[in-house]
A = this chain, B = another copy of it.
């Protein structure tokens, strides 16, 4: 993905980190290698000791950037959603026709993630894998309500809100815009996961099928004609 502006930064809730990892070389290496390590071994088998070793540093240094691995996951996924939101806004900006705008939005949300050279130390494709496999674990906890109050899920909620607005722009009388928006976002990740691990449970064996499935689902719900 090419950007019009080269100096964009993704703003993540400051409470997710102790010290901003973007502020130092070590911080960036923590994020970069953290993404690689989690996508290799999975979040359960990931810890700060392994990460420290991987970057030729130490467990204690990682703790100076992130309180614990749960917060680290929230940081990473917030960054991802912020990045995705940026793409969504860029792609749909200035489109007047609500139906076409919604179509473009669904395309952004279902297309596979490509590397983005603007953020050199972040491997967006690996990060996307992490989000698919681990994101649910960041909110399926007993602390979800407190953490939600503290704003850890703001960006994701804003994404759902944006999609909801685009749905309502097409059909202001549709009564389930929030549910449809959250179903599409969650469903896109889930269908991607199923494709990899439970192929019999999905028809979305490629990018186009995934897009067409959700496009069909959304536009028939809104009772709007689509061109095939």
Contact = CB atoms under 8 A, between A and B. Distances in A.
A42 B186 CA distance: 22
Interface stretch (A47-55, A71-79, A175-183): A175-183
A128 interface: no
A190 interface: yes
A142 B221 CA distance: 36
**Copies per complex of this chain:** 2
A168 to B, nearest CB: 11
Contact of A191 (B179, B200, B213, B217): B179
Given A133-B140, A136-B136, A141-B42, A203 B177 contact: yes
Interface in A171-199: 175-183, 186-187, 190-191, 193-194, 197-198
A13 to B, nearest CB: 16
A210 to B, nearest CB: 8
A136 to B, nearest CB: 5
B191 A142 contact: no
A134 interface: yes
Q: Which 6 A-B pairs have the closest CB atoms?
A: A42-B142, A182-B201, A220-B220, A176-B213, A179-B203, A176-B203
A216 interface: yes
A205 to B, nearest CB: 10
